[in-house]
Chains A and B, each alone.
Chain A
Amino acid sequence: MQMPAPDVRIMGLKARLVSRLSEVLPPDAVIADPAETRAYECDALTAYRCPPLIAILPASTEEVAAALRICHEEGVPVVPRGSGTSLAGGALPTADCVILGVARLTEVLEISTEDRLIRVQTGRTNLSVTGAVEDLGFFYAPDPSSQLACAIAGNIGMNSGGAHCLKYGVTTNNLLGVTMVLMDGRVVELGGQMEAGGLDLLGVVCGSEGQLGIVTEATLRILPKPEGARPVLMGFDSSEVAGACVADIIRAGILPVAIEFMDRPCIEATEAFSGAGYPICEALLIVEVEGSEEEIADQLGLIEEIARRHDPVELRRAKDAEEAGRIWLGRKSAFGAMGQIGDYLCLDGTIPVGELPRVLRRIGELSEQFGLRVGNVFHAGDGNMHPLIIFDANREGDLEKAEAFGAEILRLCVEVGGCLTGEHGVGVEKRDLMGVQYGPDDMDAQMDVKDVFDPAWLLNPAKVFPLEASAGRRG
């Protein structure tokens, strides 16, 4: 993975930039000491690191605007950073950039249960948005697994999903409006209502990976908490059968809140790690439904009836909250369990759900071919796969081999009608694979949007689009 060579002119501006930024930001919000900027050298894609020139931590929309205006005048690239949990390298700095962290933008600005919305500053964490409304009986639906740490700003940048988006949708379906600062310091309000009057600019900003503007405030849809939720665990002796069972559940007209899938390598690792009591089999499904006790019983009854037609090796309905917790424990510790085996690369392709058996078979073959183990966790209802490729970071060439294996899997996802990334974003990780999914005109149309919002290509410039594709625009 390549990044553009740092601009020597900009590197030489450091003292002047620190001085100008310090005029508009509090002293402790401008970080220039290399010992401290190192804290911003990477996000959760730790394979790539580079300390920024300067990091800044503005605490208001006005401070963001003032800082961006300076960076714009000086022609300095700005890389936005939420909580740094991106698995795609979305917040990876370059040596000539200013990192703009939103960590100090944490206020709740308004809660309206009547209008079913909350307005927050975007440095607030995903889980603490729910925390602010749960006593009122509400929650914020998108639930990425990093929700304890990840910021709303990053969720909007990457259009984050989660395990429950089969029913509740992803960030874009739960975002009503934003306050955003453009690279030149202009502040725009986008959205705000349940529909746009003119062009849906909010829709294109969500998921634009911090390349169109810095979102400082967000209006989010909140939903009433369901009366209850309960999972059922099912084991099958092949992934084909598990896949057929998922399709039958969906076709029967039931819309579970989550359908999670794990394959044998993942089940074995998870069981050894967490002792969740999973059956050791080829494919495991966790299907969760919501409602009152009676509604849950009714839906689970129907789901189990469908499952029985597929000869499950295990069918276990959670009797109470404790058993529900145990069923989810394994799924939630799956990444940690795989991490016990070795370093891992977590992929994020999406496939049409009917292609699951074929894709898993092919991943198995590729695993043999590359000589690397892989486990699969999968949001089965919506086709979002998370193959975890195990490698040894200390062994020469292993990371490159894992990346090559990962690229093959993502090519496969696109080949069967899916996409490169379902919820993690492109960042730098999948940047050079964009051409697998999109042709030159498709990418040009997307880059045209960036030209309009950020004509000088200063915001997070070396991400999303292959460098050779964006070269002429980046200047």
Chain B
Amino acid sequence: MDGLRPTSESELADAIRGATGPLSVRGGDTRGMAPAGTPLVTAGLSGIRLYEPGALTLVAGAGTPLAEIEAALAAEGQRLSFEPMDHRALLGTTGVPTIGGVAAANVSGPRRIQAGAARDVMLGLRFVDGTGRIVANGGRVMKNVTGYDLVRLLAGSRGTLGVLSEVALKTLPVPETECTLLAEGLAPGGAVDAMSRALGTPFEVSGAAHLPDGRTALRLEGRAASVRYRAEALRGRLGGTWAEAADSAALWREVRDVTAFAGGHAAIWRCAIRPSRAAALLAAIGTDHRALLDWGGGLVWLSVPSGGAEAVRGAAARLGGQASLVRRGPVPAEVPALPPESPAVTALSEGLRRKFDPRGLFSAPLRENA
């Protein structure tokens, strides 16, 4: 690939200072949503800088492949608790997911409801903003309230405020075992009700999803005896029939990566909403769609063959939620991928972009997956 390929933070800063037009910053480019402009590839900012399993701390260059980090953690019986999604199957993209891409997009999977999002385990970061300024924020310790929290501001900023060069993360042990309870044939409303009741128990449900095929899944993780105990206790509280899934890990990879919606040409929406309103959202859309509910109903994935921009965005807004476009499909190019914000929030966000990227290097329109 042509373009800029810095191999150090100072080269990154030089590349940004020397830029004369929009930059298209990429980690692994697995979202197919990098903006137009000169490619700026972070792959050269790679490598695990520090890993202390006893302190649950890992620091890595932003271009480090996610797989490299996951392998290093697995060797010590640890993992990234937030279970980042791999977008390649859903979007039909290739490329190597990087930790910087995960952090910049706050990519969080099913365990978000119990263990938090990517942003919640990010301890610190370094980035270069649009003026070429190198900025450090946070650190490598779990509790840090020194100054403003730019870590959370940059997490999920999708590269619009700066290019991450290094990320520090909290890691967690892989539990001894996991078990998933499955119910068949619940309607979305009934599924959300069951998931909410499960998440309202002290049994530490670490995944609660309702799949497009009608299965409702609840995951328990921990020490074997504890998982057995909690599975029985949960069955007792919920009533109905809850069978044990044959392959729990495979099922949650399927939920995490939304593989049910892979292929085809439908628009894919990702809606964040209060779980108690998820069923109403589906009812309000009207147009033909399929849905996958994660986060106990707080995250609704929609596959809408007709696009459904007005129906989905309208229903989400009426119900106090928000809808992001992950795969455009037939949705017209003028519909923005990110949900609309109030004028006051837009003014603040624009103000921040002007401060951190006064030349507009990172704010070119997204070159979205067609």
B223 contacts the other chain (CB 8 A):
yes
Contact between B117 and A195 (Cβ–Cβ < 8 Å)? Answer: yes
Q: A195-B272, A379-B143 are in contact. Are A188 and B344 (CB under 8 A)?
A: yes
A400 contacts the other chain (CB 8 A):
no
Per-residue CB contact flags for chain B residues 35-68 toward chain A (1 = under 8 Å, else 0) read: 0000000000000000011111100000000000
Contacts of A248 in B (CB 8 A): 54
A58 contacts the other chain (CB 8 A):
no
Chain A nearest CB from B343 CB (Å) reads: 9
Partner of A420, one of B146, B157, B229, B352: B146
Partner of A204, one of B139, B150, B351: B150
Q: A197-B272, A198-B341 are in contact. Are A354 and B146 (CB under 8 A)?
A: no
B183 contacts the other chain (CB 8 A):
no
In the complex, what distance in Å separates the CA atom of A352 from the CA atom of B324? 38
Per-residue CB contact flags for chain A residues 329-364 toward chain B (1 = under 8 Å, else 0) read: 000000000000000000000111110000000000
Contact between A445 and B133 (Cβ–Cβ < 8 Å)? Answer: yes
Contacts of A445 in B (CB 8 A): 129, 133, 135, 137, 150, 356
Partner of B54, one of A138, A192, A250, A417: A250
Contacts of B112 in A (CB 8 A): 194-195
Binds A, one of B87-95, B169-177, B255-263, B304-312: B169-177
A146 contacts the other chain (CB 8 A):
no
Chain A nearest CB from B145 CB (Å) reads: 5
Partner of B352, one of A112, A158, A165, A199: A199
Partner of B148, one of A112, A207, A418, A430: A207
Query: How many residues from B make CB contacts under 8 Å with A?
Result: 82
Contact between B147 and A201 (Cβ–Cβ < 8 Å)? Answer: no
Q: A161-B143, A200-B119, A452-B348 are in contact. Are A295 and B229 (CB under 8 A)?
A: yes
Contact between B143 and A448 (Cβ–Cβ < 8 Å)? Answer: no
In the complex, what distance in Å separates the CA atom of A156 from the CA atom of B146? 14
Chain B nearest CB from A41 CB (Å) reads: 25
Binds A, one of B20-28, B199-207, B281-289: B199-207
Contact between B147 and A193 (Cβ–Cβ < 8 Å)? Answer: no
Contact between A292 and B146 (Cβ–Cβ < 8 Å)? Answer: no
Contact between A197 and B139 (Cβ–Cβ < 8 Å)? Answer: no
Contact between A442 and B135 (Cβ–Cβ < 8 Å)? Answer: yes
Contact between A253 and B175 (Cβ–Cβ < 8 Å)? Answer: yes
Contacts of B144 in A (CB 8 A): 350, 419, 421-422
Residue of A nearest to B174 (CB): A253
A79 contacts the other chain (CB 8 A):
no
Contacts of B351 in A (CB 8 A): 452
Chain A nearest CB from B167 CB (Å) reads: 15
Per-residue CB contact flags for chain A residues 131-152 toward chain B (1 = under 8 Å, else 0) read: 0000001100000000000000
Contact between B106 and A350 (Cβ–Cβ < 8 Å)? Answer: no
Per-residue CB contact flags for chain B residues 126-137 toward chain A (1 = under 8 Å, else 0) read: 000100011111
Contacts of B153 in A (CB 8 A): 199-201, 203-204, 449
Partner of B276, one of A115, A137, A384: A115
Contacts of A441 in B (CB 8 A): 133-135
Per-residue CB contact flags for chain A residues 423-448 toward chain B (1 = under 8 Å, else 0) read: 11110001000100111011111101
Contact between A193 and B149 (Cβ–Cβ < 8 Å)? Answer: no
B359 contacts the other chain (CB 8 A):
no
Residue of A nearest to B339 (CB): A197
Contacts of A207 in B (CB 8 A): 145, 148-149
Chain A nearest CB from B264 CB (Å) reads: 25
B108 contacts the other chain (CB 8 A):
yes
Contact between B298 and A169 (Cβ–Cβ < 8 Å)? Answer: no
Q: A199-B352, A224-B200, A353-B54 are in contact. Are A295 and B147 (CB under 8 A)?
A: no
Give 12 A-B contacts (CB < 8 Å), ordered by A residue.
A187-B344, A188-B342, A194-B298, A195-B299, A204-B153, A250-B56, A253-B175, A350-B144, A419-B139, A422-B144, A438-B147, A449-B148
Other than A419-B141, A446-B150, A449-B352, give 10 A-B pairs with Cβ distance below 8 A: A115-B196, A186-B344, A226-B202, A250-B53, A251-B76, A294-B225, A295-B229, A354-B52, A383-B55, A449-B148
Which residues of B does A touch, CB under 8 Å? 52-57, 76-77, 106, 108, 112-113, 116-117, 119-120, 129, 133-137, 139-153, 155-157, 160-161, 172-176, 193, 196, 199-202, 223, 225-226, 229, 233, 272-276, 295, 298-299, 320-322, 324, 338-339, 341-342, 344-345, 348-349, 351-352, 355-356
